[in-house]
Every structure is written in structure tokens, then in C-alpha cells.
Amino acid sequence: MKSVAEDSLPKLIVGLGNPGKKYQDTRHNIGFMVLDQLANEWSASFHDDKKRKAGWVKCENYILVKPLTYMNESGQAVGKIAAFHKIEPHEVLVIYDDMDLDLGRLRIRAEGSAGGHNGVRSIISHLGTQRFSRLRLGIGRGFNEGIGHVLGKFCQDERSELEKSIKEAVLAIGYIAEKGLSAAMTKFNASPKASKNKSTQQKSLPKNDN
């Protein structure tokens, strides 16, 4: 039986990361990088909402969100934005880094535990449920596991694979928004090159009349 999230289309798309120049381009901020690319494709700019502790922008009927809290408190922003826009947890898609996947790999998931990710753990706490979808982007483990690795910046020889990963994630988000989570999992979880035949000229987010 499919979960509610698998049959739902996202309305709130969240990229996780830490705010500030100190953390810019770090592995932990790959969720922010994907959101920046999405906004750039729509010529949109994030505005800071201090009351709700988030930078967000509306593109068509999708709301893109970057929490202004630090990673461990991401749920504060997600919970406030979701409540303000009357968005249900199963309509939320969260994008974040995963050390258990190699750089360039991604995984789409309908729901589940935090898997050791503090940002996701915070979102679960504030939404009161694990039933929201996720897009995990691999950053590998490198030589320094744990906090030293995730807060380290991508090195020069990783840049090409990073750019490909961000583009792949943008395509996956567009596919989720258009076809649904279940179809996207079948397509993108199978192979890191699963979307190679999908045109990159297509708008990343289709219009949503929901």
C-alpha cells in the first residue's frame, strides 16, 4: 500500500543548510544549493522572514524554503512556514545531505526516520510526524567522518560532480512535482544517470493548479 506522501504532490520544498558565509559551499549546505538553483531558474529571490525564521519565495504554487536557523533547529522554520501557508506534512519535500551516499547519488523517500540527520530530526519534532517526503543527496564520507566532513567545503576535484548532482536534484524535484513521488522514486533511485534522457531545457517546476 502506498503512503499518503507517495500519492501527494509537494507544495513546500525545503532545502537544509546553515545560514551565513561561514557555511557557504559546505557539504552540509547542499540542500541550500539546490534551492538556489531552483530559484535561479525561475528568476526568483528569497526574502528573509524573521518572524518565521526562514528565507522563502513562492514560485507558481510552490514555496521554496531555506531555514535561517542553524541546521539542528530547522524544524522551527519549517513548522512555522507550513502552518502559515496551511500546508500538510505530506505536502512537504525536504532536500538534504547524506554521508551514506556517494557524491553524485541521490535517493527519494516517501517518509521515515531521521537517519541520524539532526535537521530532519528537528523537522519531525516540529511537524509531529515522519510522514513527509525527502530527497537525499550524497556527499560521501571522505577521510574525515562526522561533523568535520559535513562542515568542510567541497574540494576542487568534487566541483564537477557536485554541479551534476545539483542539476540531477533539480530534475528530480520537477519530476516529483509533475509525476508524483512514486514515479520519481522508480526513475531516479535506480541509477545516478536515470534522468540522462530528460531535457535540461524544461522548466524544473511545472505549473500546479492544486
Cα–Cα distance for residue pair 167/104, rounded to 1 Å = 10
Catalytic residues: 28
> Which residue do the cell numbers 505530506 mark?
90
Cα–Cα distance for residue pair 92/186, rounded to 1 Å = 19
Edge-to-edge strands, sheet with 133-138: 47-49, 54-59, 62-67, 12-15, 92-98, 133-138, 106-109
Three cell numbers, residue 97: 545531505
Cα separation values, 165 from 49, 97, 110, 135, Å: 29, 11, 20, 12
